[in-house]
Structure 1
Amino acid sequence: MNSTTRFKLSAMMFLEFFIWGAWFVTLGTFLGNNLKATGSETGAVFSTQSWGAIIAPFIVGLIADRYFNAERILGVLHIIGAVLMYQMYNATDVSVFYPYVLGYMILFMPTLALVNSVSFNQMKDPEKEFSSIRIWGTLGWIAAGLLISYFFHWDSKEGTEAGLLKNTFLMAGIVSLALGLFSFTLPKTPPKVSSDEKIIVSDVLGLDALKLLKDRNFLIFFISSIFICIPLAFYYQNANPFLSNIGMDNPTGKMTIGQASEVIFLLFIPVFFKRFGFKMTILVGMLAWAVRYALFAYGNAGELSFMLILGIALHGVCYDFFFVSGQIYTNSKAGERFKSSAQGLITLATYGVGMLIGFAVAGKISDAYKAADGVMDWKMIWIIPAGIALVVFLLFALVFNDKSKAEIEPKTV
């Protein structure tokens, strides 16, 4: 890969995840402060990510893979996304905001697959080359959080009271427009499938991989993946509002510690996986969710603020040890024929079905523990997902007994 192509792909990844991190992290705080949304309304808004994940395979599989170059579709989706972001910026009521965010997520979620497709198309050895490109995405997410907290101060007490968090949508929209235009300069990535080839919906959705569920242990893993996404949804929906509400300074900037830890712990996955196997690795990931939420429940923004920072820093263990090791396990069980469809099925189960349930549960729990004067019982709001994660951990520990070891090639970032 020449230096020009490497620069373009790195910039694409940086901007792609900058856009997502620029508004999604502070979304819960914005909805509560600016639009006065209830917990259930907030859960419905966050669930648009899940609807986007469910619909994304149709856009990529039925359009991108058959009719148009991936980089052109990427450009069009981000330009339309910029318009929707501007409408979200102008919205003053959650009922007006919801249709725009739903439309946006239906268009944005497919771009996550498209940026990967554009990248892989330029690589001779993706196993070695992709991580050095993908890391720029994580850096983009971190950069967005740092700008919001330490440069613009939109998430400060004064900023949130003044309603400045709406500016995150304007910033994301401007960058979305920039990436949309930039996408047309990216290396050409033509369709992979002939437009004349018969469309098989089961292939598009990865339903062929359902055959893997005949394996008892894979079925247990599959079900556990859905249920562990319930506590995951609590983090996306409530972490930023929680940190802002209890008075932590620069909450969005501090939450980027989670992305930094994600990069660090990714390096430990190959070693841990080979030494202890899949079951122990994924159990550590599950337990980390319970520990993280316990830290949130009993920490505070004063003398126990270290507990909150530690909880944020556990994101690398929570995400990498469960989701990344789960992808590796799925890959090892699928075999050559079902590798792609199996990954698609797990994504549909987790970011689609699992988090759809999770956001609904998180919304109802938030409403249940919000007093008439608006004061939130954050301790209970975090204890409940901690308990859910602990139950999933115990059940998985007791019933999963696959002793085979999935092979993993160490990857550096």
Structure 2
Amino acid sequence: MNFLQFFVWGSWLISLGGYMSTQLGFSGLQIGSVYSTMGIASVFMPGLLGIVADRWINAERVFAVSHFISAGALIAATRVTDFQMFYSLMLVNSLFYMPTLALSNSVCYNVLTRKGYDVVKAFPPIRVWGTVGFIVAMWTVDFMGWTKSTFQLYQAAGAGIFLGCYAFTVPPSPPFLDETRKKSLASSLGLDAFVLFKHRDTALFFIFSLLLGAALQITNAFGGPFLDDFKTTYPDSFGVQHPNLLLSISQISETFFILLIPFFLTRFGIRNVILFSIFAWVLRFALFGLGNPDDKLYLLILSMIIYGMAFDFFNISGSLYVEKVAEPKIRSSAQGVFMIMTNGFGAIVGGYGSGWVVDHFTTEGIRDWPSIWFTFSGYALALAVLFLLVFRDKRIAVR
């Protein structure tokens, strides 16, 4: 289930920007706005469908139906070229796919608990297959030559439909009526955790979560178009011929840096590990600005490797920070707020903001990629300096 869950996402997330740029002729702002639909969906849909699964309908059934609707939207999107219609269909896809990320975890936890497994020990080896699924999907799209084709959407839709059918075969995850019906709607949506904003350092952390969440959308949306623009200068280079294969090094790097997190946390503490993550984003974008897919391919590969630190060190350490500062009674809600700030509002800011930057440095259809990437790198550097100066929470030392 985890393999297919992320196989669906990996089929189009990294390559769709190239398809929209080359085949549909969308501008940078339009491409960014399509990617921002994931942020819009993440603000409220996981909470709403979570309530449905908690109170009325088995989680695996909500999960299945969501995948069916998401797949239908992807199939419909293959048949349109108009921006407004394409945007609307991708918004529907996001509204029903993004909640399945949380629902898949809920189903897994329920099944493992009911079967008597230790979730802490049993779930990580299962979850890693999600990363494997993401990578396999990217490689499939790359080797089949679908990075600029609608077949990437068909692949995602086909996997989603299969996963939806498969979900009906897993052990049931029924609603917990006695516990969840007593919760208020605000509590179910995670709104009670906004009390954390009363503390200065916690409020600052969530603001930085939003601003760093924006960084993730940048290479998701524009990594493909960036490599595709080298097709005139380096048409036979590895990066141009196999963009998804090159970009997938980022996901492979994630699996490595996840293993390093315990060492870094105990040695340097949460605050410094988050700071390392921000500086990693500086290098991630700067190396893109300096590299090319031919004689400077090594710089792009190094950027992909650094991505693992940039992404994992913040997401894992940030989640641990929230765990430490939140009271147990709002633990789940607090984690929900963290996700809303990074994958919700952060994705919206990143989608529209990165699109505006790309359009700003585009003249007569020619993109000035070094200026684009150095602008993003400067943005991350400014965040690093601000974080270093203003965030000094003494409650989060890990030794």
Letter in 1 for 2:13: F
Q: Whole-Å Cα distance in 1 between the matches of residues 4 and 397 of structure 2?
A: 34
Matching of residue 299 in structure 1 with residue 291 in structure 2: yes
- 2:38 maps to which residue? 49
Q: Whole-Å Cα distance in 2 between the matches of residues 351 and 17 of structure 1?
A: 16
| Counterpart selection for 1:216 from 195, 200, 212 | 200
Instruction: Tell me the CA shift for residue 216 of structure 1.
Output: 1.9
Matches within 5 A, 1:333-348: 333-348=325-340
Task: Kindly indicate whether the alpha-carbon contact (under 8 Å) linking 1:62 and 1:199 is maintained by their aligned counterparts in 2.
Answer: no
Matching of residue 90 in structure 1 with residue 74 in structure 2: no
Matching of residue 313 in structure 1 with residue 302 in structure 2: no
Q: Matched residue of 1:122: which SS?
A: helix
Identity of aligned residues (%): 37
- 1:385 maps to which residue? 376
Instruction: Tell me the CA shift for residue 64 of structure 1.
Output: 1.2
Q: Whole-Å Cα distance in 1 between the matches of residues 5 and 356 of structure 2?
A: 31
Instruction: Tell me the CA shift for residue 324 of structure 1.
Output: 0.9
Q: Whole-Å Cα distance in 2 between the matches of residues 192 and 285 of structure 1?
A: 38
Q: Matched residue of 1:116: which SS?
A: helix
- 1:181 maps to which residue? 165
Q: Matched residue of 2:78: which SS?
A: helix
Q: Give the structure-2-normalised TM-score.
A: 0.93
Unmatched 5+ stretches in structure 2: 232-238
Matches within 5 A, 1:70-109: 70-109=59-98
- 1:371 maps to which residue? 363
| Counterpart selection for 2:126 from 124, 133, 138 | 133
| Counterpart selection for 1:33 from 9, 22, 25 | 22
Q: Whole-Å Cα distance in 1 between the matches of residues 45 and 178 of structure 2?
A: 20
Instruction: Tell me the CA shift for residue 194 of structure 1.
Output: 4.5
Q: Whole-Å Cα distance in 1 between the matches of residues 216 and 71 of structure 2?
A: 28
Instruction: Tell me the CA shift for residue 65 of structure 1.
Output: 1.0
Q: Whole-Å Cα distance in 2 between the matches of residues 389 and 260 of structure 1?
A: 23
Instruction: Tell me the CA shift for residue 198 of structure 1.
Output: 5.2
Matching of residue 332 in structure 1 with residue 345 in structure 2: no
- 1:190 maps to which residue? 174
Q: Whole-Å Cα distance in 1 between the matches of residues 398 and 331 of structure 2?
A: 14
Q: Give the structure-1-normalised TM-score.
A: 0.90
- 2:389 maps to which residue? 398
Letter in 2 for 1:214: K
| Alignment size in residue pairs | 387
Q: Whole-Å Cα distance in 2 between the matches of residues 38 and 138 of structure 1?
A: 30
List per-residue Cα deviations over 1:45-70 (Å, max 9, x = no partner): 11110111012233333211111111
Q: Whole-Å Cα distance in 2 between the matches of residues 256 and 107 of structure 1?
A: 25
List per-residue Cα deviations over 1:124-176 (Å, max 9, x = no partner): 321111101100100000001111112x0223xxxx4xxxx211011111111
Q: Whole-Å Cα distance in 1 between the matches of residues 194 and 75 of structure 2?
A: 40
Task: Kindly indicate whether the alpha-carbon contact (under 8 Å) linking 1:52 and 1:106 is maintained by their aligned counterparts in 2.
Answer: yes
- 2:216 maps to which residue? 232
- 2:105 maps to which residue? 116
Letter in 2 for 1:240: G
List per-residue Cα deviations over 1:104-141 (Å, max 9, x = no partner): 11000111111100100122321111101100100000
| Counterpart selection for 1:144 from 127, 137, 147 | 137
List per-residue Cα deviations over 1:67-89 (Å, max 9, x = no partner): 11111111111122222111011
List per-residue Cα deviations over 1:252-291 (Å, max 9, x = no partner): 1111111111011001101100111011100000000011
